[in-house]
Amino acid sequence: MNLFALNTPSITGEVLCPGDKSISQRAVIIGSLINQDMTIVGFLNGEDPISTINALNAIGSSIEINNTSVTIKQRETAFISPKEDVDLGNSGTGMRLMMGLISSLGINVRLVGDKSLSKRPMLRVSEPLNSMGANILCRDGMPPVQITKGNIKNNFSYDMPIASAQVKSSIIIAALAANESVTVKEKYQTRNHTEKMIDYFGGSIKSEIIDQENVIYLSPSKLDITKPYKVVGDFSSAAFLIVAGLIAKESNIIVKNVGINPTRSGLIDILKSMGGEISIRNQEIICNEEVADIHVQSSALKGINIKGSIIPNIIDEIPVLSIAAAFADGQTTISEASELRVKESDRLSAISYGLNSIGKSHELFEDGIKINGSKDDISGIPEIDSFGDHRIAMSFLVASLRSSEGIHVRDCANIFTSFPGFIDVMQSLGVSINET
């Protein structure tokens, strides 16, 4: 699917942020493990969470989805070894978290994915899980992933060599499913939805800073469901709308029900430091997660330097942050972000390709990018390749707000993996996006 977005000088309105993709997937995995009747509301009805539900059902869960509502029925039997491969589609989160879960279930499962997922690194997950007592084989370090019965150790401790919430969560879920203790240490704190969810359901989990490291401890836990779980809005999806509001020449928008977990929402601080007119309203706590409405107005942005501990916090938002930087006054440098090389695409190269296409000067590094921003609009009608990556596609569709004649973006079907309502939401704000 190819899309064309027209130049839109003014956007306005209130929109509801879709459910968080990461939280939606964790909720069905942990909910299946708890094995009680459970209702999840605000679920992201996107391709990635649906792939995770299908994978869980393939190993014996009983999960039904109705729009944004999910029901999990208590199982009468143990999890099972499926006769066929379990397909996670494009979902890296689903595959990595399922690796942790399945490692502790005493079943045999072969996990596969689409062309993109089959190129993503899985040794970062399989190696610590195998050290923990799992039995996992990967093809050249990538999917397919073969998991057979293992024996998860008690009191396993792991020092994270890279900042990855997926790896951390996979280890924690493996210990949770095996009813064993585990300690995970990370140099930079990554998104903590797994820890917050386990705590919400009554698990014995805590974290503390020791010698500048974040240390998470999980003890054997009996989780319990007392009421429906509500998924807050996805900050990574809201990021596209926030940046759209900032770079549009005239804007006044409110994005409602946005999860602002401090381990996810660092982009707000960055954009404010760039001069972004952003305000937080109606803050509350829902199911252990912070949530709020975000008000955004057109802003004169300026370039800044971004590196260090904030990078894991904003890793999924860097593509759309690059669009903000492209229209900021001065230079923005993003470094220590080599993790972008192993996402759905090589996102650093994809960002560079897109910036070349829209005529924005920049310099690409192995671990980052330097963008020479300007207030100049995009001339002509550039054509962008998304490289099969939903975040690249949506970022450059947002850039159309500062184009003179519009932007073509190729291969946009991937948007449905994480933000299936993106086109409708953007159109409700006044942006014209149509299939070509």
Q: Which residues pair with 407 in a beta bridge?
A: 5
Largest distance between two CA atoms of the chain: 62
Residue with tokens 């820890």: 195
Using DSSP, state whether 232 is helix, strand or coil: coil
Quote the CA–CA distance of 271 and 214 in Å, as a whole number: 25
**Which DSSP string do the residues of 78-117 spell out, in sequence order?**
-----SSPEE-TT-HHHHHHHHHHHHTTT--EEEE--TTG
Query: Catalytic residue among 20, 87, 316, 385, which?
Result: 316
One-letter amino acid at 269 equals D
- For residue 416, which of 434, 385, 394 has the smallest C-alpha distance? 394
Sign of CA dihedral 260, 266, 271, 276: positive
Quote the CA–CA distance of 46 and 18 in Å, as a whole number: 10
Q: Are strands 229-230 and 38-41 parallel, antiparallel or unpaired?
A: parallel
Alpha carbon distance, N-terminus to C-terminus of the chain: 8
Residue with tokens 């039904």: 64
Locate 19 and state its tokens.
Answer: 């459910």
Q: Which residues lie closer than 8 Å to 171 by C-beta, 6 or more apart?
A: 100, 128, 129, 132, 156, 158, 182, 184
**Is 48 a known active-site residue?**
no
- For residue 241, which of 231, 229, 230, 254 has the smallest C-alpha distance? 254
- For residue 36, how many other CB atoms are within 10 A of its CB? 14
Quote the CA–CA distance of 195 and 52 in Å, as a whole number: 19
Quote the CA–CA distance of 74 and 223 in Å, as a whole number: 14
Q: Annotated active-site positions, please?
A: 316
